[in-house]
Structures are given as structure tokens and as C-alpha cells.
Amino acid sequence: MRLEDIFGTDEYLGSKNILFVGDLIQLPPVNGRPVFKKISNKLVKTKLGVANAVNIWKETVEYDELTINERQKGDETFFKMLDSVRHGCLTDETLDMLKSHVFKFQYKKNIRTWKVKEQILQFAYFLRLYRLMNGLDEFSFTDRFSWYL
């Protein structure tokens, strides 16, 4: 809808040629739907205020698939593993290989997580400032900042 408004046309995508790049079989977006799935009429009405859903993807996009994998072409085993994961077909062998690459990490008990990027950046700035003011190269987060948690 935005491109139609910007370019002053009723044509889908503002009547512009757009190149979409990506692996459409890959995992769906976090808290989202794959682009090629039909949107329910209820969702369209909620988001756009119109009554009927139109599958713009099927009506406007010409699809050409790239079939040569340049990144993993030297490792056939890894390529086959990634391809099976991509299609949602996990074998025991693939699952064992993936599990063998999981990093073991010990969490300390006073770890704090944020959902907002700005808060993380502010806290990182605070830590750098604290270190500069106190001449510290390293410090224990839980010892010096337990009051902040």
C-alpha cells in the first residue's frame, strides 16, 4: 500500500520492479508468517481496513530459483545437512551433528536481559564510562553492579 501511495498508482508495489532475495523455504520470520502464505481476511481487515485478502505474492512475483550453492560447495556432507534442515527433514545423523556443535555456556546467576536495543546500548555506555572513571581494565559484573540488578 505504501508504494502505491508514494508513486501515485493503483498498481501493486507502486508499479515498480523489485528484486526479492532470500531462501523462501527457510525458517519463517520471528513472530511472523512466510511472505508466500495467504493472509486471512480477518488479518487484512485488522491491518489494512479492507474486506478481502489478495495474495500479492502469487499475483505479482515471478520466481526464479538459484540451485547452485557456492558457499558450501566444498563440503557435500554439510551441504546435505543444511538442505535437509531447510526442508524440515531432520535425520538422526543430522540432529547428532547439530548437537555436537552446540556451545556449552555457564550462565551466572545475576544476568539481566533486555528487550530494547536502546537500553542495551545505554548500559554498555555506562559500563565503559564506569571503567574509564575508575581506571579498570576488567571487573566482575555481579560484584560491582549487584545494586543495579
Task: Note the pLDDT of residue 144.
Answer: 47
CA 20 – CA 15 distance, rounded (Å): 15
Last residue of a domain, one of 60, 80, 103: 60
Q: Which of 42, 60, 78 delimits the end of a domain?
A: 60
13 part of a folded domain: yes
Would you say residue 73 lies in a domain? no
Q: Is residue 142 part of a domain?
A: yes
In a domain, residue 100? The reply is: no
Q: Per the domain annotation, does 36 fall within a domain?
A: yes
Q: What is the identity of the amino acid at 36?
A: F
User: Considering 36, 60, 84, which residue would you say is the last residue of a domain?
Assistant: 60
Overall pTM > 0.85: no
Residue 17 lies in a domain: yes
Other CB atoms within a 10 A radius of the CB of residue 84 amount to: 15
Q: Identify the domain containing residue 43 by its residue range.
A: 2-60
Judged by DSSP in three states, 91 sits in coil
d(CA 50, CA 56): 14
Written as one letter, the residue type at 116 is V
pLDDT tens digits, 65-114: 777 778 778 888 888 888 887 777 878 888 888 788 777 766 666 666 65
The total number of structural domains in the chain stands at 2
